[in-house]
Copies of this chain bind each other. A is one copy, B any other.
Amino acid sequence: MFKATIDADILKSSIETLSVLVDEARFRISTEGLSVRAVDPANVAMVSFELTASAFDDFAADDCEIGMDLTKINDILGVAEKNEKATLELDELSQRMSIHIGGFSYTLSLLDPSTIRAEPRIPQLELPAEVVLNGKELQKAVKAAEKISDHMSLGVDEDIFYMEAEGDTDKVRLEMPREQLIDLKSGEARSLFSLDYLSDIVKPASKSNEVTLELGRDYPIRISFTVAEGAGKISYLLAPRIESD
């Protein structure tokens, strides 16, 4: 059993955090909310997503797992107008989800969860450095790097968070000292990442005022932020590339 009502905008931004990495996802539903863990087809990035029952106006659910086509839901949520509510209701017998938004009733066939890639195990990582900044600033840095290269380094050097990208002939570097950041925990950190992934991930992150980056030396980066006033939590883990000297 699953029946829930939520602000369509919140649901839309939540789905978008997943759809930058995967087209289909297994949603784990419990009395406490929804959660998804997914890894992209190339095994480079992973997303861990949680939307607690408190993000919903109404929420009633038993434990279950369903598969959904994210592109379809994104499309459907596109009809919602500002401040409209979306009501989801699962029909377990027919394996269909009905979605009601502003007079429209959609009936969507679910995907068989067993056909969707299994949930990844989230690795335990000790990431020494931590940077908290505005999502828009992060997106701007990624866009600047894209003009020069298809990889970018992110690192911490004492009281400075920096990013650097180097093309065949040109280079760009951005330094953000502690006072331009919301928070900085210094530590040894510098890793190279593919801009393909970073630019997808910073799209949803750019809507958040507070994005947390956790970094290490040639280690994955963890990029996390919340939605729905903290009731939704998104965390990406992106594997580093090997930096050639």
Interface size on A, residues (CB 8 A): 27
* Copies of this chain present: 3
Contact across chains for A106 and B172 when beta carbons are under 8 A apart: yes
- A140-B79, A147-B75 known; A108+B176 contact, CB < 8 A: no
Which residues of the other chain, B, contact A104 by a CB distance below 8 angstroms?
Answer: 141, 144, 172-174
A103 adjacent to B176 (CB under 8 Å): yes
A148 touches B103 (CB 8 A): no
Q: A148's contact among B106, B148, B173, by CB below 8 Å, is which? A: B106
Whether A105 lies near B170 (C-beta < 8 A) is no
- Give the residues from 140 to 165 in chain A that come closer than 8 angstroms, CB to CB, to chain B: 140-141, 143-144, 147-148
Given A72-B170, A170-B72, check contact A143 B107 (CB 8 Å): no
Whether A76 sits at the interface, judged by CB under 8 Å, is: yes
A107 adjacent to B171 (CB under 8 Å): yes
* Separation of A174 and B105 alpha carbons in the complex (Å): 6
The answer, yes or no, to whether A112 is at the interface (CB within 8 Å) is no
27 contacts between A and B (CB under 8 A): A72-B147, A72-B170, A75-B147, A76-B147, A76-B172, A78-B147, A79-B140, A79-B143, A79-B144, A79-B147, A103-B175, A103-B176, A103-B180, A104-B141, A104-B172, A104-B173, A104-B174, A105-B172, A105-B175, A106-B148, A106-B171, A107-B170, A107-B172, A108-B169, A108-B170, A109-B169, A109-B170
